[in-house]
């Protein structure tokens, strides 16, 4: 009940008082079940992590399964940035991590990967998920603090000579939108597939149908 209440409060806003109030108990009462706020954060993070469902193995291509997993995981981190912080600090228990990792390995091995190659593919996609979530959260917080990244770049350029930071100037002058996460994810998964001797065009079609063309 404590873990669920803490998860509902959200890791970014988590305090002992907020959880106690949600449960209708005193802070002293909470201390009969948890050690401190760090313990509360860990419980909440594990509860939230466990509630992020792995894609159902419907027999879909391994790249589609990984696409679905990566998209859901990134969405979960963006919805609750505190969960990402706890993940990066290693606060989520080995048992929770191992269960999901084993499931992912099983999907890939079941479609012809040797286990080490399955590990490499999963870790590559995981790195993209975490990196993309970190960047998105950083940019959102910078904007909330009045330091939007693009505006800060323009400010820096204004203080430089016109012949300085040439490539950054060209980037900021380019009106085309930034490449979305789904497109980066597609590039990574197609790369893994090609390394396995699979047809890149076929994989792109599968991922486009899964949402990779967004």
Mean pLDDT across the stretch 95-116?
Answer: 92
Residue 118: predicted pLDDT: 97
53's tokens: 């469902």
For residues 159 and 154, what is the distance between their CA atoms, to the nearest angstrom? 9
Residues 20 and 104 in one domain: no
Boundary of a domain, candidates 31, 51, 71: 51
3-state helix, strand, coil in the chain (%, to 5): 70, 0, 30
- Spatial neighbors of 100 by CB under 8 A, at least 6 apart, are 54
Alpha helical stretches, state H, 10-148: 16-23, 27-30, 37-50, 62-79, 81-88, 94-109, 115-144
What dihedral do alpha carbons 185, 187, 193, 195 form, nearest 10°?
-130
Residues 133 and 155 in one domain: yes
Q: How confident is the model at residue 213 (pLDDT cuts 50, 70, 90)?
A: low
pLDDT higher than 80, residue 92:
no
Mean pLDDT of the chain: 88
Neighbours of 7 (CB within 10 A): 23
What is the domain count for the chain? 2
Span 27-70, pLDDT tens digits: 888 888 888 877 887 777 777 777 677 899 999 999 999 999 99
Q: What is the CATH number of the domain that holds 79?
A: 1.10.357
pLDDT higher than 90, residue 91:
no
Residues 38 and 135 in one domain: no
- Decide: 186 and 199 in contact? Cβ < 8 Å: no
Residue 212: predicted pLDDT: 63
- Decide: 20 and 33 in contact? Cβ < 8 Å: no
Mean pLDDT across the stretch 4-32?
Answer: 82
Boundary of a domain, candidates 32, 51, 70: 51
pLDDT higher than 90, residue 199:
yes
Residues 41 and 79 in one domain: no
For residues 185 and 120, what is the distance between their CA atoms, to the nearest angstrom? 15
pLDDT higher than 60, residue 8:
yes
For residues 50 and 52, what is the distance between their CA atoms, to the nearest angstrom? 6
Mean pLDDT across the stretch 7-14?
Answer: 75
Residues 44 and 107 in one domain: no
pLDDT higher than 60, residue 214:
no
Residues 13 and 68 in one domain: no
Q: Which of 74-78, 104-108, 177-181, 209-213 has the lowest mean pLDDT?
A: 209-213
Residues 74 and 125 in one domain: yes
210's tokens: 């899964």
| Residue located via tokens 């994810």 | 185
- Whole-model pTM: value is 0.80
Span 138-153, pLDDT tens digits: 999 899 899 998 899 9
Residues 6 and 109 in one domain: no
For residues 166 and 186, what is the distance between their CA atoms, to the nearest angstrom? 30
For residues 153 and 97, what is the distance between their CA atoms, to the nearest angstrom? 38
Q: How confident is the model at residue 13 (pLDDT cuts 50, 70, 90)?
A: confident
Residues 28 and 101 in one domain: no
Residue 2: predicted pLDDT: 84
pLDDT higher than 90, residue 206:
yes
Residues 28 and 100 in one domain: no
Residue 132: predicted pLDDT: 96
Domain residue limits at 22: 1-51
Residues 57 and 39 in one domain: no
More confident residue, 110 or 19: 110
Residues 132 and 27 in one domain: no
């Amino acid at each position: 009940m404590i873990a669920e209440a803490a998860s509902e409060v959200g890791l970014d806003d988590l305090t002992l008082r907020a959880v106690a109030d949600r449960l209708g108990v005193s802070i002293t009462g909470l201390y009969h079940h948890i050690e401190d706020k760090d313990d509360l954060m860990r419980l909440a993070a594990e509860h939230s992590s466990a509630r992020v469902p792995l894609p159902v193995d419907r027999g879909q291509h391994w790249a589609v399964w990984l696409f679905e997993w990566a998209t859901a995981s990134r969405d979960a981190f963006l919805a609750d940035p505190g969960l990402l912080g706890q993940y990066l600090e290693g606060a989520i228990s080995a048992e929770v991590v191992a269960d999901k990792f084993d499931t992912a390995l099983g999907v890939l091995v079941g479609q012809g990967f040797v286990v080490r190659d399955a590990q490499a593919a999963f870790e590559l996609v995981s790195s993209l998920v975490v990196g993309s979530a970190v960047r998105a959260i950083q940019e959102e917080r910078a904007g909330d603090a009045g330091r939007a990244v693009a505006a800060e770049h323009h400010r820096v350029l204004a203080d430089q000579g016109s012949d300085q930071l040439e490539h950054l100037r060209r980037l900021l002058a380019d009106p085309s939108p930034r490449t979305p996460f789904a497109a980066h994810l597609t590039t990574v998964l197609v790369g893994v597939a090609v390394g396995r001797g699979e047809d890149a065009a076929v994989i792109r079609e599968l991922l486009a149908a899964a949402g990779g063309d967004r």
